[in-house]
C-alpha cells in the first residue's frame, strides 16, 4: 500500500498539479488508486486471507456439524451442507469482478467530474509525436510487466502453479526486465532478455510437440530432443544469470531488493508468530468464547453479526496493517460468520468483503494509512484538508461497491465456481454438493424438452427385446419403466417443494424463536457443567462452595424459565416439518434412483451388444482349442483357453459361456485327464458360444441402433448424473446457481 501510494504520488501528483488539476481530485484519485492493490489480484491481502479462511472453514464445519447433530439427532451431516472453502486462486477470481467494478466506478466518477467541471481536470495536450517510435516505446514499457502479471495470475488461477511457484516465475521475469531496463540506451541492453525469451519459446515448442523424458530415450531422435531441450534450458539460465548480474553490479539494485525482501519477510513471519501466540492465549483464556457469545447473542442474526464485525475491522484498519487484521481478527470472527446456516455464505465472499472493507478503512480520514503516505510525499502547497476532501467521493464509491457485492454475492462467487466446473479437474456430476443445482438445471431442461423426451421414452417401448436372455431383458425393461415414471417423480418433487414453501413461511418464525431460546439454554448448560466441575474440586465447607451451589441453582432456574418459553406446539410442528423434509429428500432420492436406472441399464445393454464382433472372432480361437484338445496337447490348450478367458472377461452377459470355459479348465488341469469329460466340456463351450452368438447377432442388428438413439436422447437429462464431466451449459447453470447463498437454516 505505502509503496504504491508513494510511487504514484511522486510520479503522477506533480504532473497533475502542473496541469492545473484540482488538488482534491488529484490526491483523491491517487490515494484511492493506491488502495486498489488490496483487492485486485495478485494481492498479498487476498493470499493471507485465503490462508486464514482455510482454517476458519474447518472450524465452521465442525461447529455446523455439532449444530446439525443437536438439532436433528443425526451424527452425519450431508456434505451439501458443508461450508465452501477457498484458496488463493479462488480468492483472486472472486475479487476480479469487484475489482473491475471499483475501477469502473472510479473512471466514471473522474470522467463525470471532468465533463461537468472542466476546471478540475483540464485536458493535457500531448507535445510529442505519435509515430512508430512512440508505439514501440509504449509497447516496451507496458507489454513486459502486463505479460508477467498475466502469466503469474493465470498460472495460479488455472492451477498450473502454486502461489510459491508463480512467485518464483514472477521473480525471474522481474530480474530479466530489470536487466534490460538498467542498460537502457546501450546496444546490448536486450541481449539477455532476447536470449531468455527465445529459449523459452524453444522449450515450450519442444514440450508441446514431443514427449521429452530422459528415462524414455530409445533412439537417436529422442536423444537429440533431450539435448535440444537441455541447450535451451542452459540458454535461458544464461540469460537469467546475465540479467541478475546486471542488477547486482549496477547501482547495487539486487542487494537492496533482497535486503528489503528479507526485512518484509521477517516482519511478516514475526507478525504471524506473534499473532499465533496472541490467538492461542486469547482462546485459552476464553476470549474467543466471549466474542462468540456476544456475536451469537446479538438480535438480527447473521447480518447484525456481520455488520458489527465489519465495523470493528473498519476501525482497526485505522491503526493496524492488513496483516495484523488478517492473522489476528479473521481467525476469531470468521468461523462464527461462516457456520451460520441461515446466511450460508462462502469463504470467498467473506474474504473479498473483508478485503474491500480494509481497503476502505485505509482510505478513510483522519487515520487512513494511504492518507498519511500521500501527505508525506505531497508538496507543501497541497493542504491536508484537500486530501481529505478528495478521498470522500471514493470512499462513498467503495461503500457503494461493498453494499452491491454484499447484496449480490454472485459477483464474487460466480467466477470461482465457473472456473472449477469447466476445468479438467471439475467434480463429476454425481458429486453430492452439486445435486441441488444439477436437479434445478435438469428440471428446467425437462420443461423445455418434455415432448421430445416423452416421445423418446414412448418409442423405446416399441423395440422388440424378446430375443434377449431373460435376465438382460428384465433389466432393460426395468430401465424403460423407470424412465416412464420420471415425470411422475418430478411432479412429486415439485408438489412437496410447494408444500414446503408454504409451510416454511409459517414455521420459520417459530423455528427462529425456539432455536434462539435453545441457544441460550445450551449456553447456560455449559456454565452449569463448568460450575459442577468447580464444585467437585472444592471442599463442601469451603467459603466458595455455597457460592457455587447458589450459582448452579440460579442458572438451573434460568434454564427452566427459558424452557418454559418454548411454545407447546413446537414439538408437533417441528416433527411435522421434519417429516415433510424427509419426504422431500426421499422424493429426490427416488427420482435420482429412477433416472440412474433408466440410463445405466440401457448403457449396460448397449455395451453388451457392442462386443458382438469380438464374440464372433472367438469362433476361430474355439476351433483351434478343439484341435489342441483332440491332439491332447494340454499345455497349449490351457494357453489358448486363457486367451479366450482374457477376452470374455471384458464381455457382459456371457456368464453361462464363462462357466463352461471354467469347467473345461478344471478338466484340463485335473491330475488324471478324462478324454470323454474334456471332450464333453469342450462341446458345452462350443454350444454356449453358438447360443450366445445366435441371440447377439439377431438382437444387435435390430435392437442396437434403437438403443443407441434412445441413449443419446436421454444422455443430457436422465443420464446426466452418469456422465464423467458436466456439459458446458450445465456447468455454467450450476456455477450461477451455486454462486447464490441458499438459506439452509430450517434443516438445523
Per-residue pLDDT tens digits for 641-652 = 777 777 776 666
- In the chain, where the domains are located: 2-182+251-407, 473-595, 611-712
Q: Which residues contact 590 (CB under 8 A, 6 or more apart)?
A: 489, 492
Task: Give the pLDDT of residue 346.
Answer: 92
Looking at the predicted structure, is the pLDDT value of residue 630 above 90? no
Average pLDDT value over all residues in the chain: 83
Helix, strand, coil abundance in the chain, percent, nearest 5: 80, 0, 20
List the one residue out of 101, 264, 313 whose CA is nearest residue 256: 264
Task: Give the pLDDT of residue 126.
Answer: 67
- Give the model's confidence band at 1: pLDDT under 50 very low, under 70 low, under 90 confident, else very high: low
Distance (Å, whole) CA 701 – CA 693: 12
What is the CB-side half-sphere exposure of residue 200 using CA atoms within 13 A? 12
Most confident of 285-294, 310-319, 407-416, 521-530: 407-416
DSSP class of residue 380 equals T
pLDDT tens readout for residues 562-575 = 888 888 888 888 88
Beta strands in 218-352 (DSSP E): none
Q: What is the residue-wise DSSP string for 153-222?
A: HHHHHTTSS-HHHHHHHHHHHHHHHHHHHTTTTSTTTTHHHHHHHHHHHHHHHHHHHS---GGG--SHHH
Cell 417423480 -> residue = 489
**Range in 69-73, 423-427, 577-581 with the lowest mean pLDDT:** 69-73
Q: In a 10 Å sphere around its CB, with 0-12 CB exposed, 13-18 middle and 19+ buried, how is residue 743 labelled?
A: middle
Distance (Å, whole) CA 291 – CA 306: 13
Distance (Å, whole) CA 670 – CA 687: 23
* Other Cβ atoms within 10 Å of 720 Cβ, number: 21
Higher pLDDT among residues 545 and 259, named by residue: 259
By the 8 A CB rule, do 59 and 123 touch? no
Looking at the predicted structure, is the pLDDT value of residue 735 above 80? yes
Q: What is the residue-wise DSSP string for 273-296?
A: HHHHHHHHHHHHTTHHHHHHHHHH
- Helix residue spans in 366-409 (DSSP H): 369-377, 384-407
Is the bond preceding 42 in cis, omega lying within 30 degrees of 0? yes
Grid coordinates given for 507: 414455521
Amino acid at each position: 500500500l505505502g509503496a504504491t501510494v508513494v510511487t504514484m504520488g511522486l510520479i503522477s501528483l506533480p504532473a497533475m498539479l502542473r496541469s492545473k488539476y484540482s488538488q482534491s481530485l488529484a490526491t483523491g484519485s491517487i490515494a484511492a488508486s493506491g488502495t486498489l492493490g488490496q483487492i485486485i489480484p495478485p494481492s498479498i491481502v487476498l493470499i493471507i486471507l485465503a490462508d486464514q479462511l482455510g482454517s476458519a472453514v474447518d472450524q465452521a464445519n465442525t461447529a455446523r456439524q455439532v449444530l446439525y447433530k443437536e438439532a436433528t439427532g443425526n451424527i452425519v451431516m450431508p456434505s451439501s451442507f458443508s461450508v465452501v472453502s477457498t484458496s488463493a486462486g479462488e480468492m483472486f477470481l472472486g475479487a476480479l469482478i469487484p475489482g473491475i467494478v471499483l475501477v469502473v466506478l472510479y473512471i466514471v466518477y473522474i470522467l463525470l467530474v471532468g465533463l461537468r467541471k472542466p476546471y478540475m481536470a483540464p485536458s493535457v495536450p500531448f507535445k510529442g509525436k505519435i509515430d512508430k517510435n512512440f508505439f514501440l516505446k509504449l509497447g516496451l514499457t507496458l507489454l513486459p510487466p502486463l505479460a508477467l502479471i498475466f502469466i503469474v495470475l493465470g498460472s495460479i488461477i488455472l492451477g498450473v502453479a502454486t502461489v510459491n511457484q508463480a512467485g518464483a516465475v514472477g521473480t525471474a521475469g522481474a530480474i530479466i526486465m530489470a536487466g534490460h531496463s538498467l542498460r537502457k540506451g546501450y546496444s546490448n541492453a536486450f541481449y539477455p532478455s532476447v536470449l531468455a525469451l527465445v529459449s523459452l519459446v524453444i522449450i515450450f515448442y519442444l514440450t508441446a510437440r514431443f514427449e521429452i523424458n530422459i528415462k524414455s530415450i530409445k533412439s537417436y531422435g529422442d536423444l537429440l530432443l533431450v539435448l535440444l531441450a537441455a541447450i535451451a534450458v542452459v540458454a535461458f539460465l544464461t540469460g537469467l544469470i546475465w540479467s541478475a548480474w546486471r542488477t547486482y553490479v549496477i547501482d547495487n539494485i539486487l542487494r537492496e531488493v533482497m535486503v528489503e525482501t528479507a526485512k518484509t519477510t521477517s516482519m511478516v513471519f514475526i507478525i504471524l508468530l506473534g499473532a499465533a501466540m496472541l490467538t492461542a492465549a486469547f482462546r485459552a483464556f476464553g476470549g474467543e468464547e466471549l466474542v462468540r457469545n456476544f456475536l451469537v447473542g446479538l438480535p438480527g442474526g447473521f447480518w447484525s453479526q456481520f455488520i458489527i464485525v465489519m465495523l470493528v475491522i473498519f476501525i482497526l484498519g485505522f491503526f493496524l496493517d492488513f496483516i495484523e487484521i488478517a492473522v489476528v481478527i479473521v481467525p476469531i470472527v470468521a468461523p462464527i460468520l461462516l457456520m451460520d446456516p441461515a446466511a450460508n455464505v462462502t469463504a470467498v465472499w467473506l474474504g473479498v468483503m473483508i478485503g474491500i472493507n480494509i481497503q476502505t478503512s485505509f482510505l478513510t480520514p483522519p487515520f487512513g494509512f494511504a492518507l498519511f503516505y500521500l501527505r508525506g510525499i505531497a508538496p507543501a502547497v497541497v493542504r491536508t484538508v484537500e486530501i481529505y476532501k478528495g478521498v470522500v467521493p471514493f470512499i462513498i464509491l467503495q461503500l457503494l461497491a461493498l453494499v452491491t457485492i454484499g447484496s449480490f454475492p454472485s459477483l464474487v462467487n460466480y467466477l470461482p465456481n465457473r472456473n472449477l466446473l469447466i476445468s479438467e479437474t471439475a467434480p463429476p456430476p454425481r458429486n453430492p454438493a452439486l445435486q441441488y443445482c444439477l436437479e434445478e438445471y435438469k428440471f428446467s431442461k425437462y420443461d423445455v424438452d418434455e415432448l421430445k423426451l416423452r416421445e423418446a421414452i414412448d418409442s423405446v417401448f416399441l423395440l422388440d427385446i424378446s430375443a434377449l436372455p431373460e435376465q438382460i431383458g428384465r433389466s432393460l425393461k426395468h430401465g424403460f419403466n423407470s424412465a416412464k415414471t420420471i415425470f411422475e417423480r418430478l411432479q412429486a418433487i415439485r408438489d412437496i417443494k410447494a408444500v414446503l414453501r408454504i409451510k416454511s413461511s409459517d414455521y420459520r418464525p417459530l423455528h427462529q424463536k425456539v432455536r434462539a431460546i435453545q441457544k441460550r439454554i445450551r449456553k447456560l448448560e455449559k456454565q452449569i457443567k463448568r460450575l459442577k466441575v468447580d464444585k467437585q474440586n472444592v471442599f463442601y465447607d469451603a467459603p466458595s462452595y455455597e457460592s457455587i451451589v447458589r450459582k448452579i441453582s440460579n442458572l438451573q432456574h434460568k434454564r427452566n424459565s427459558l424452557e418454559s418459553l418454548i411454545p407447546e406446539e413446537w414439538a408437533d410442528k417441528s416433527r411435522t416439518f421434519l417429516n415433510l423434509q424427509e419426504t422431500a429428500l426421499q422424493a429426490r432420492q427416488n427420482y435420482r434412483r429412477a433416472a440412474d436406472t433408466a440410463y445405466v441399464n440401457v448403457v449396460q445393454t448397449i455395451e453388451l451388444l457392442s462386443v458382438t464382433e469380438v464374440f464372433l472372432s472367438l469362433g476361430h480361437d474355439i476351433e483351434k482349442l478343439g484341435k489342441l484338445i483332440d491332439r491332447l496337447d494340454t499345455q497349449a490348450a490351457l494357453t489358448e483357453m486363457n486367451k479366450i478367458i482374457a477376452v470374455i472377461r471384458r464381455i457382459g452377459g456371457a456368464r453361462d459361456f464363462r462357466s463352461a470355459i471354467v469347467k473345461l479348465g478344471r478338466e484340463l488341469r485335473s491330475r488324471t485327464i478324462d478324454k470323454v469329460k474334456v471332450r464333453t466340456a469342450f462341446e458345452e463351450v462350443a454350444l454356449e458360444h453358438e447360443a450366445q452368438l445366435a441371440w447377439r447377432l439377431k438382437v444387435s442388428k435390430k435392437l442396437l441402433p434403437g438403443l443407441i438413439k434412445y441413449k443419446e436422447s436421454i444422455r443430457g437429462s436422465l443420464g446426466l448424473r452418469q456422465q464423467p464431466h458436466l456439459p458446458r451449459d450445465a456447468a455454467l447453470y450450476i456455477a450461477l446457481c451455486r454462486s447464490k447463498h441458499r438459506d439452509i437454516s430450517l434443516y438445523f
